[in-house]
Amino acid sequence: MHAFDYAAASTVRGALDLAGPGSAFLAGGTTLVDLMKLDVLTPDRVIDVNALPLKGIRLHDGALRIGALERMSDVAAHPVVRSVHPVISKALLLSASGQVRNMASIGGNLMQRTRCDYFRDVTSACNKRRPGSGCPALTGVNRNHAVLGTSDSCVATHASDVAVAFVALDAQVVLRSKDGDRVAPLEEFYRLPGSTPDRENVLGPGELIAEVVVPVLPWARHSTYLKIRDRQSYEFALTSVAAAVDVKRGVVQDVRLAAGGVAAKPWRLRAVEEALKGGVAIERTFAEAAESAVDGARPLAHNAFKTALLKRTIVRALLDAAGAR
């Protein structure tokens, strides 16, 4: 681990004043400390933001607002979250382990880095870590990698579970800088890798995630987060689907779907949503609609199964969410 300055900030202003090129904000630390030990991240300055007033979970103006420094476990257990958007709670509880959830913040979760084993190994080339060095995952071991939204530069998946639920629910993030606040839809907060996979989001230098804002959507309580993995727990997703569905008299009125584990960012499945609307809420409809989920997929040597698995994960999640069984 490289040497660095450690500074604790008590106000947002103070934290932003301390920030600069080569600095990193430390919240839970479960990503940052891990990647610093591996020399994947080598900040000159680490700014501890845990004392910042970016906490609180509340309903305000038709939206659920979650402070960026709220811990994953606190958000998952919060009665308002559980009653308004249980899918958020479920996605969080299927993430990492209890110990990690107790430490990791919501803002940090959204900023977590990929679990690509080439990204995490500094002896390997990686365009995300060392732009222009190449991507060994394209031809290497790539069973866990993405099939959607990838590029010739990077095929890493985005690792967050809760971000998938957030994207399904049209969540926004409040980004705070010295110039004030701006709001971005989470789906657009993340960038696709293209030729610059090192730039993962639209966050500017000296900008912090302050809050996540999730519109209330009463029917979306009929929801699920389904995570498919080799191990029953404590593993990143091979595929995951956040699904919320409004079924009346057996017909799909409205639906929200997003997928994880398959794409370079949390992947909203709008074409599938459109195909489902007005359809009969039965397995065959779901399966037909799910076909379009993998349009444009670019399977690699070891992860071609993810296209079939994603479609089946969608069907299973819809069956769960619709209470069709």
Residues that bind another protein (CB under 8 A): 1-6, 8, 26, 29-30, 33-34, 36-39, 46, 48, 50, 71, 73, 96-100, 102-103, 115, 117-118, 120-121, 123-124, 136, 139-141, 143-144, 228-236, 238-239, 305, 308-309, 312-313, 315-316, 325
Which tokens hold the place of 97? 């382990």
Of residues 50 and 177, the one with the C-beta less far from another protein: 50
Which tokens hold the place of 119? 């990204």
Minimum Å distance from CB 142 to another protein?
Answer: 9
Residue 315 CA to residue 325 CA, distance in Å, equals: 12
Of residues 48 and 254, the one with the C-beta less far from another protein: 48
Of residues 2 and 249, the one with the C-beta less far from another protein: 2
Of residues 129 and 316, the one with the C-beta less far from another protein: 316
Residue 73 CA to residue 102 CA, distance in Å, equals: 5
Which tokens hold the place of 123? 């002896």
Minimum Å distance from CB 182 to another protein?
Answer: 29
Residue 35 CA to residue 86 CA, distance in Å, equals: 31
Which tokens hold the place of 102? 């107790």
Of residues 98 and 278, the one with the C-beta less far from another protein: 98
Residue 67 CA to residue 80 CA, distance in Å, equals: 14
Of residues 171 and 310, the one with the C-beta less far from another protein: 310
Minimum Å distance from CB 137 to another protein?
Answer: 9
Which tokens hold the place of 28? 């839970």
Residue 245 CA to residue 220 CA, distance in Å, equals: 6
Minimum Å distance from CB 180 to another protein?
Answer: 29
Of residues 213 and 261, the one with the C-beta less far from another protein: 261
| Helix ranges (DSSP H) in the chain | 12-18, 32-37, 72-77, 79-84, 86-93, 98-103, 106-111, 162-168, 186-189, 270-276, 283-290, 305-321
Minimum Å distance from CB 303 to another protein?
Answer: 9
Residue 230 CA to residue 55 CA, distance in Å, equals: 35
Q: How far is CA 247 from the centre of its chain?
A: 27
